[in-house]
Chains A and B, each alone.
Chain A
Amino acid sequence: MNRILWLWGILFGLWLLLSYHFEWLFLVFGTATCTVAVLVAARMGIVDRESVPLHLVRRGALYVPWLVWEILKSNVRVAGIILSPRLRVDPSIVHFRASQRTDLGRFIYANSITLTPGTVTTGIVADDLEVHAIVREEVDGSEENDMNRRVAALEGEGA
């Protein structure tokens, strides 16, 4: 129930942010739209820890800046590869083990890998991530383990 109210609040906040009209007509439209959307979602039974991950918000606030920093570093690295005259690419497909317990955790880990240039998650079966890397030796390092550990910590005690 709590989760449903939060979802409604988030959706209505989004509506206000995007419309920014405070006439009654638009407020009523927004209220009605959000209510219908939340009711449909609730009836489909998809309002759960996965679709409204409130438990991630606090720890996520720490994870996101770290991820942005990682993205920045790997962007510079890939830019260096592309701009170097010799174009030192050594692509290969490597496998990582995801130690997250929930699907949502694995989803975050796989997407974080894809968001950092130089590595793209091409497939995931259970806890085995198939990752395409543009330079092989750079992904053998501890960086991906670090990310894995951080996402596992992010999802907390799990569902």
Chain B
Amino acid sequence: MMEQVLPVLTWVLLLSGAFFLVTGALGMVRLPDVFTRMHAAGMTDTMGAGLILVGLCLHSGVNLVTMRLLLVLAFLWFTAPIATHAVAKAALAAGTEPYTLGAGEGGADGGEGEGGGAP
């Protein structure tokens, strides 16, 4: 029973991980500025990497490799937000205006600008 379920589950996890990676990459292209793109990048290293690593854990069974994979996941989830935060902070420090929906919409906090980030 378990022998049949496990490979299927592994494939489901790997494929859904790949789905989040591709979606994150698509977001990098579609989203308008560095701050919104960070959210897409966050998706690739939480769910994308997470699902793939958990899928690999199931694939390898319970052994040393599983423990190491979980360790990789733990370190990734500890460090990824710090890297994201650093990028955001650097962008703000460099004076990047966060993109906001059109200037007409009663200037929200942080919007203060006509154009927002251009691209």
Contact = CB atoms under 8 A, between A and B. Distances in A.
Contact of A72 (B32, B40, B47, B101): B47
Contacts of B110: 92-93, 132
Interface in A98-144: 110-111, 114-123, 132, 134, 136
A115 to B, nearest CB: 5
A92 B109 contact: yes
Interface in A64-93: 71-72, 75, 78-79, 82-83, 87, 89-93
A159 interface: no
Contact of A20 (B31, B64, B77, B101): B64
B85 A122 contact: yes
Nearest to B71: A17
Contacts of B26: 82-83
Contacts of A110: 81, 85
Interface of A: 14, 17-18, 20, 71-72, 75, 78-79, 82-83, 87, 89-95, 110-111, 114-123, 132, 134, 136
Interface of B: 19-20, 23-24, 26-27, 30-33, 35-36, 38-40, 42-43, 46-47, 50, 64, 67-68, 71, 77-78, 80-82, 84-85, 88-89, 92, 98-101, 108-111
